[in-house]
A and B are shown apart, each in its own frame.
Chain A
Amino acid sequence: MSKLPLTLAVFWTAMLVSLPLRAMEVKAAVLRIDRVVGPPISRLDAPPDDLGFAGAMLGNEDNRTTGAFTDTDYTLKAQAVAPDKAAAALDALKAEGFNLITLIAEGETLKALSDRAGSEVLLLNAGARDETLRDVDCRANVLHVSPSRSMLSDSLIQFLMWKKWTRIFLIHGSHPEDTLLAENYRKSAAKFGAEIIEEREFVDTGGARRTDTGHVMVQKQIPVFTQNAEDHDVIIAADEAGVFAPYLPYHSWDPRPVAGSAGLRPLSWHAAQEAWGATQFQRRFEKLTGRSMREEDYQAWLAMRVIGEAVTQSGKTDPASVRAYALSPDFELAAFKGQKLTFRPWNGQLRQPILLTDGRVTVSVSPQDGYLHQHSPLDTLGIDAPETACHAFGG
């Protein structure tokens, strides 16, 4: 990253060619709201300081390279603040003229900020997975590039249906987000014809998540916790809070595969993904940042590219025009997932395939073959137009 500015500066000068277009300036910001959370169960999952920012930076570089040909300048400001400083940070960004703002925040904060931002700002949600933000609590000034919980749960259940692993033992955590995720798995199972055979709650009793020789206790605790479950094909862990799911594989009483928050996970992105030209994309990111790409990085990159495409194609930079173009039938984005990504015009959700990964390789990509839809197979993932309670998009 340190050597980048110089090389790129040379690069852009070299590429400037005369095009009969007026100069445009795009000011984009990424605002990340950091809650105080404990360390993850696995130290491999510890979030890097530039989580999300790095992806936005790559997206901004991509936009700048293209901008050199269209006489458009892109600037990016990245900022992380605590939840109690979020409103002030938003106000300050607005005062500085940033009106295309990517948010990496949990749902309640995003909702509050979208109400505060007003219609002169376009927010791109690159974090929160909450269904309600795309549904009853949707806001006209928010586009969601991050997939919703139901898009993820539908992706996994479609794959389990293909495997004919239809009898599910659902284990969910005790945090509110775990409850929401569990509800999405129940709905997805009902939607595609799988059956939740048994449910248990793994209660977070607090305390340190990692202790020396903690695996000794886990090895005794998890088999007992999972003992005497109804006959099932697969365990699904709904553990968004990250309290127990990684302990389930190999420790469950019955020898069954684990999916959901551990084992086979539905993700917007994974560093092992290589298909559809992703290898080059991963390598560009790794060269820029010195680490591998996470979901938040991919989502922030998507947000920058949505802005870049809308500006390049529409020739306009104001939030209303970017929003209008993104929601129009003309918008399409290539994003290393094998097909174009478009927005659902009725709630501002970006349609996208979901990767199913075991942490080492891409196991499958949903939607699965055979799940058809009158508009797009991607609309078999997540809530669909007929069932939406979102009315901020004119629906």
Chain B
Amino acid sequence: MLRSALALLPSVLMFAGPAEANKVFVTNERSNNVTVLDSQSWEVIATFPAGNRPRGITISPDGKELYVCASDDDTVRVFDPETYKELHTLPSGPDPELFALDPSGNPLYIANEDDNLVTVVDVKTRQVLAEIPVGVEPEGVAVSPDAKTIINTSETTNMAHFINASTYEIEHNVRVDQRPRYAEFTADGKKLYVSSEIGGTVSVIDLTAPEPAIAKKIGFAVPGILPEWLQPVGVKATKDGSRVFVALGPANRVAVIDAAKDEVVEYLLVGQRVWQMAFTPGEEFLITTNGNSNDVSIIDVKEETVIRSIQVGEQPWGVVVAPN
């Protein structure tokens, strides 16, 4: 599989258009470091220590600060994406795992699983602005494109909480299937996708009515794979609203969803225990972290094919690509 994908590589790259070289940062949960890849050559260009058990990772819109949840250090570490030096840390509460940055670059919304809270941190003053009580084991965090709504998914309460970003009050709760992991808005803000790892579904929540409501639940089926292992985790939607990609964890597949119909059109074979994903800025490529095969897979978004895989550190978890 891989060998044939590699053979195709040069031709695929030729048609991929004038993609710029961007740095791709991958957190390696077990080897306690971040691998840096070049998005044009797909070579590993650096590796730097990132604290204990780095998981969630994001970058400021200006590309100047890289944020890493160092889960076992109970802190968010901030790195310079050029020098890879640690600049400072942010208060996060215990065991930060996933977070989301306001589209303006501030503040940072962090899920604290131990305390059933979402912590709001000002990344400039490094102060905690608010702690918002949510359901049991908050996990996924997303900010709406208009920055007015924060979504948090709680893994044991099994809800998506809709939090008003100015008052920090919960305005709506939508029940989803077991162990909701990740929330992703469409670019137009009209839909929200929430993955339920144990429930095995992605809930499509319609945001056009006054009350958010589940419009559809997308299920998955791959011949030869036990339904138990079809566990949706990371979700990414293209800006043009045409496609949604869903990482299916231990099924080692990424589902491609036609976002017009919200139906699965393809399953792409990637590495083992595929977890989180990130697009390159022009959405030419989608990078997936594969925790059990210690690599990342690169998906050509337009062709909907896996073009190659690259070894990174041990148990890659999160990924972010530097902006242009």
A280 and B135 within 8 A (CB): no
B136 and A62 within 8 A (CB): yes
Residue of B113, B136, B177 near A65 (CB, 8 A) is B136
- Min CB distance B116 to A, Å, is 6
With A17-B173, A283-B114, A334-B178 as given contacts, are A69 and B159 in contact (CB-CB < 8 Å)? yes
Main DSSP-derived SS at the B contact region: loop
Residue of B95, B155, B156, B228 near A377 (CB, 8 A) is B228
In the complex, residue of chain A having the shortest beta-carbon distance to the beta carbon of B211: A20
Q: Mark A280-297, 1 if CB is under 8 A from B, else 0.
A: 110110010000000000
Interface residues on chain A, number (Cβ under 8 Å): 27
Residue of A66, A279, A376 near B136 (CB, 8 A) is A66
A11 and B133 within 8 A (CB): yes
B199 and A62 within 8 A (CB): no
Main DSSP-derived SS at the A contact region: helix
With A66-B159, A69-B157, A339-B228 as given contacts, are A332 and B133 in contact (CB-CB < 8 Å)? no
For residue B268, CB closer than 8 A to chain A, the reply is no
For residue B198, CB closer than 8 A to chain A, the reply is yes
B198 proximity list for chain A (CB < 8 A):
332, 334, 339-340
- Min CB distance B135 to A, Å, is 6
Q: Mark A54-73, 1 if CB is under 8 A from B, else 0.
A: 00000000100110011000
B155 proximity list for chain A (CB < 8 A):
277, 334
For residue A15, CB closer than 8 A to chain B, the reply is yes
A334 and B170 within 8 A (CB): no
B173 and A334 within 8 A (CB): no
For residue A333, CB closer than 8 A to chain B, the reply is yes
Q: Mark B153-168, 1 if CB is under 8 A from A, else 0.
A: 0011111010000000
With A62-B156, A339-B198, A340-B178 as given contacts, are A15 and B95 in contact (CB-CB < 8 Å)? no
B228 and A376 within 8 A (CB): yes
- Min CB distance B17 to A, Å, is 40
What separation, in Å, do the CA atoms of A15 and B154 have in the docked complex?
14
In the complex, residue of chain A having the shortest beta-carbon distance to the beta carbon of B159: A69
B179 and A284 within 8 A (CB): no
- CB within 8 Å of A: which B162-190 residues: 169-171, 173, 175, 177-179
A19 and B173 within 8 A (CB): yes
B114 proximity list for chain A (CB < 8 A):
280, 283-284, 287
B133 and A15 within 8 A (CB): yes
For residue A14, CB closer than 8 A to chain B, the reply is yes
Q: Mark A336-351, 1 if CB is under 8 A from B, else 0.
A: 0001100000000000
Residue of A280, A334, A340 near B95 (CB, 8 A) is A280
- CB within 8 Å of B: which A15-62 residues: 15, 17, 19, 62
Contact sample, A vs B, 8 pairs, CB 8 Å cutoff: A17-B170, A17-B173, A66-B136, A66-B158, A70-B173, A280-B113, A312-B175, A377-B226
Mark B residues whose CB is within 8 Å of A: 94-95, 113-114, 116, 133-137, 155-159, 161, 169-171, 173, 175, 177-179, 197-200, 226, 228
Top 5 closest pairs, chain A to chain B, by CB: A334-B198, A334-B178, A334-B179, A66-B157, A280-B113
